[in-house]
Structure 1
Amino acid sequence: MLGLCCVLIMVALDQTVVGTAMPTVVADLRGFSLYAWVGTSYLLTSVITVPIFGKLGDDHGRKPFVLTAIVLFTGASMLCGLAQTMPQLVLARALQGVGGGMLVATTFACVPDLFPHTAERLRWQVMLSAAFGLANAIGPSLGGFLTEYFGWRWVFFVNLPVGVVSLWFVWRFLPVIRHSARPPSRLDWQGAALIALFLGSLQLAVEWLPQHKPPLLLGGLAVLSLTALLTLIWWEKRSPNPLLPPSMLSHRGLAPLFGLSLLMGFGMFAVMYYAPLMFQAGFGLSPNQAGLLVTPLVVFITIGSMLNGRIVQRLRHPTRLLTLGLVMFALTAALLSRVGPATAHGLIIANMMMGGLGLGLLMPNLTIFVQQLAPRQQLGVSTAMLQSTRMIGGMLGTALMGVVVSHQFQQRVGAMLTTRQQPQWLHWLADPQTLLNPDILAQFRQTAAAAQPDALLAATRLLLVDAIHFSQWLVAVILLLGLWLARKVPPVELSHAMPPQAPSHD
């Protein structure tokens, strides 16, 4: 279990340190148009690999895939740190996402393999959540510290020692457990290809929408995405070994949990990617200062998970914790849409604490409830689908909110410069890199010396804050849609062991 904790620490660190460093990364590599792609390329490849290796883990045991994933993730982290251009970084992040997807698919599913009794399993789930939360807690501050004092590349290099330690512990201590009740099934490669086609074309369409690409191209991508989705649904209903079992998607208890996971991922990634941008480019804070403001969110995910572990079995209706967590996190997003440069940092920190507590009630309970409701022989697939829906939500949240922020910001800057009768500065100020890169900032001040550049920059910062405010308000509204899904989750009994199944230990 120590090895699994190290694995989760590595994945969690990567999720949180990168968000804090991203404004500096795009300023250094000069590629704000690919800002969202650094996150979505990782999520896209993760989404594709999670169900594949969830199923392979069910059939062949999880240890070989955990070991392979650690090597792949660690190697890709090194490539990310060595990237010289934004396209190189995006490709390296995509490769890293393959390893991350393998880790997510196998690590969480190891717990019910090792601890089939509910009470014992809950204790270890809390431990894993605590390890995940601990890494999340130090991630933003560590990312800000490394970026400010050592350079952004070290937010990726920090994965290397954690990866080596994880590899040794997993290789040495994690047993190989194969479920012998059924022979290995043929993998649904057609389903995997259709998932990749659906999400990839959807991602391109969303990313290119604000870039004024030809309507025919955008329409073609939309049609391709819809066709791939419909074909995927048709194929999975007829496949003898579907990657996404239709029975699981239509399951009365599992379907709303998958929907809640999608919404949670949407909100979590939208907040964690764009709050640091608001704090740095909008408020003018350093990466370290921005990291300190985001840290309470992830610290309190750990605290919320630990609190949840102590109370969830004592409640008559534990599923109500999902509603409470959802409301708390939605309120955090709504309040983020109201903060400004003059807002006391203590209020921002208190708001982030509330959001962390909400996520601490959501994240572990979604996993616990899915593993309690799913058929024993499909634990890996069901856990993988839960993680996949969270990643799809994160991909959509990062991409769609990126479109919203970019469109709103450019529109507001254009209107401001038109009012001031200074449209010649649009190509400078419509790109947030001007607010983030000290060299570009100095060059703009020199070029626009006669046009009161500091006043223009101050107004532009406020417009970026307004654009991010609008995106966070949308996030809050979308999260509240999950209240309907939370009401659909059936009662879950947590006092009994999982149905036994004969495993074989190697």
Structure 2
Amino acid sequence: MTRKNIIFFALLMATALAAIEGTIISTVASSIVVSMGKPEWIGLVFSVYLLFSGVFSLLFGKMADAWSRKGTLILGLVIFSSFSLLCGLATNMTTLILFRALQGIGSGAIVPVSRSMVGFLFETKESRAKAQSIESSVWGIAGLTGPFLGGTILNYFSWRYVFFLNVPLTITAIVILFIFVDEPKRNQKISMDYIGSILVLLGAMSLFGCLYVASSQWMIILLLSSVVFFVLWFRREKAHVGTSLIDLSVLKNKHVLKINVLTLTTGMIAAGVNAYLPLWGQEVMLMSPLKSGSLLTPFLIFWTGGTVINTYIIKKVSVNKDLFIGVIFLMIGTVMLNLMSFSSIWLAFVTMMFVGIGMGITVSSLMIYLQFNAPKESLGSVMGLNSFVLMMSKSIGVALLGSIYGKNITFFAQGTTFTVIFALIFMLAIQAIIVVKQLPESQV
């Protein structure tokens, strides 16, 4: 095994830890409630992790550019591992939620910094496509194996070992990175505007928070606070010589800006499918919870398959055409999504095949596009911003579609709530096609 492959293995191990954390906890949630009580707080165990992971990806992406990619990733893994251990040792729900938030801070370094390191590790379009295929497969495998692994741990041990399992795997990744990654010294100093950075963090946390609070009053307060913080940041950033966590020069880059719009759109599609297809199975097709959950299996399998297919497509066409192929699959899948109510349950599985392939091709291609067209000196910041946008897309998608589901909105009293939800998902696919058509031609 070459040095490059060993480093890539460590990056995949780190990515797997972050990926599986999102699915494995749901399996043991009821056991946590039985052990600690306060069932009304269990949602915070999930939301604070996502909140801090998404927000602090901005900080760690900037640190990777200004300081060291290797050092930033190791620091994130140390934080993640330490608070995973403390989550397993928590004695009440309050401390568990606190440690989950701090564990999320560490997770905020893993995905953006790992992806930026992959961008420097593999230089050609074909090698990056293969690397992104494997990296995306990790997320698909995590979605499939997370619940099974959580159930197995719960069956033989206790929910605490879900957190304890992270520790030896994290230490292994840290040791490999420490030994094998030889990062050149940075000759360029990147200034940091700390006041502007704090404004960005406060704005981002307020925006995340408004999507998770139950009270409409707090939702409005947090949303207005977010707008105020971001306006103050924008005015300061235009006048200040330093750069905060989000660099305006990066946002002015049309490649970066439009690919993040695409990330936001496709992320909302994935979040909508994940959240509401099983509910459609239960409420419209009268399936059991177990059988309705299996509707997502082809989505996850063919997402992985789409990334594998993409390694062959990328050799034949440009990255822009590759992205267009991906969003066409997405559009076909979302058209079929809107026809499911009028056909058999098998159409749902075929629909998820098209959506899965579309997501696999699109997500791996947009990462390749970003790695080639983002400024090299700001690649960590760009990946941090993209991770933040991806987290926001999931939260916005679930919150937007959830408001429709909660109010039982239909088209002029026709159909069900899912008719409106699936129609909106189709409109997002159309939006994705428009964004891809407007993308500047890739430099590679």
The interval holding the TM-score normalised by the smaller chain is 0.7 to 0.9
Corresponding residue of 1:301: 303
Corresponding residue of 2:137: 130
Amino acid at match of 1:285: S
Matched length: 430
Corresponding residue of 1:115: 122
| CA distance in 1 between partners of 2:334 and 2:38 (Å) | 29
| CA distance in 2 between partners of 1:232 and 1:15 (Å) | 31
Q: Which has the higher contact order (CA 8 A, sep 6+)?
A: 1
Amino acid at match of 1:12: A
| CA distance in 1 between partners of 2:353 and 2:387 (Å) | 24
Kept in 2, the 8 Å contact 1:253–1:488? The answer is no
Amino acid at match of 2:440: P
Amino acid at match of 1:175: D
SS in 1 for 2:80: helix
Shift of 1:92: 3.8
| CA distance in 1 between partners of 2:135 and 2:363 (Å) | 11
**Worse-matched range after superposition: 235-244 or 249-258:** 235-244
Shift of 1:325: 2.5
Amino acid at match of 1:225: S
Corresponding residue of 1:440: none
Q: Which aligned pairs between 1:40-59 and structure 2 lie closer than 5 A?
A: 40-59=47-66
**Worse-matched range after superposition: 249-258 or 139-148:** 139-148
Corresponding residue of 1:388: 388
SS in 2 for 1:253: helix
Corresponding residue of 1:234: 235
TM-score, normalised to structure 2, is 0.81
Kept in 2, the 8 Å contact 1:47–1:392? The answer is yes
Corresponding residue of 2:203: 198
Selected match of 1:12 from 15, 19, 43: 19
Corresponding residue of 2:434: 484
Shift of 1:301: 2.0
**Are residues 285 and 152 of structure 1, via their aligned partners in 2, closer, same or farther at CA, if it must alter by over 3 Å?**
farther
Amino acid at match of 1:222: L
Shift of 1:83: 6.1
Corresponding residue of 1:262: 264
Amino acid at match of 2:433: L
**Are residues 386 and 206 of structure 1, via their aligned partners in 2, closer, same or farther at CA, if it must alter by over 3 Å?**
closer
| CA distance in 2 between partners of 1:280 and 1:148 (Å) | 26
Amino acid at match of 2:321: R
| CA distance in 1 between partners of 2:279 and 2:159 (Å) | 15
| CA distance in 1 between partners of 2:42 and 2:406 (Å) | 11
**Are residues 253 and 295 of structure 1, via their aligned partners in 2, closer, same or farther at CA, if it must alter by over 3 Å?**
same
Corresponding residue of 1:441: none
SS in 2 for 1:306: helix
Corresponding residue of 1:435: none
| CA distance in 1 between partners of 2:86 and 2:352 (Å) | 32
TM-score, normalised to structure 1, is 0.73
Shift of 1:285: 3.5
Amino acid at match of 2:325: L
Q: Which aligned pairs between 1:420-439 and structure 2 lie closer than 5 A?
A: none
**Are residues 473 and 139 of structure 1, via their aligned partners in 2, closer, same or farther at CA, if it must alter by over 3 Å?**
farther
Kept in 1, the 8 Å contact 2:338–2:419? The answer is yes
Shift of 1:205: 3.5
**Are residues 477 and 131 of structure 1, via their aligned partners in 2, closer, same or farther at CA, if it must alter by over 3 Å?**
same
Amino acid at match of 1:94: A
Shift of 1:23: 8.1
Kept in 2, the 8 Å contact 1:41–1:90? The answer is yes
| CA distance in 1 between partners of 2:31 and 2:433 (Å) | 37
- 1:43-93 deviation digits (Å, cap 9, x = unpaired): 322232112211211222212222222232234344555667766555443
| CA distance in 1 between partners of 2:152 and 2:282 (Å) | 14
Shift of 1:7: 0.9
**Are residues 408 and 171 of structure 1, via their aligned partners in 2, closer, same or farther at CA, if it must alter by over 3 Å?**
farther
Kept in 1, the 8 Å contact 2:197–2:244? The answer is no
Amino acid at match of 2:200: I
**Are residues 166 and 88 of structure 1, via their aligned partners in 2, closer, same or farther at CA, if it must alter by over 3 Å?**
same
Shift of 1:481: 1.9
Corresponding residue of 1:249: 251
The structure number with the bigger radius of gyration is 1
Kept in 2, the 8 Å contact 1:23–1:280? The answer is no
Aligned-residue Cα RMSD (Å) equals: 3.7
| CA distance in 2 between partners of 1:274 and 1:320 (Å) | 30
Amino acid at match of 2:11: L
Q: Which aligned pairs between 1:284-295 and structure 2 lie closer than 5 A?
A: 285=288, 289=291, 292-295=294-297
Kept in 2, the 8 Å contact 1:51–1:385? The answer is yes
SS in 1 for 2:182: coil
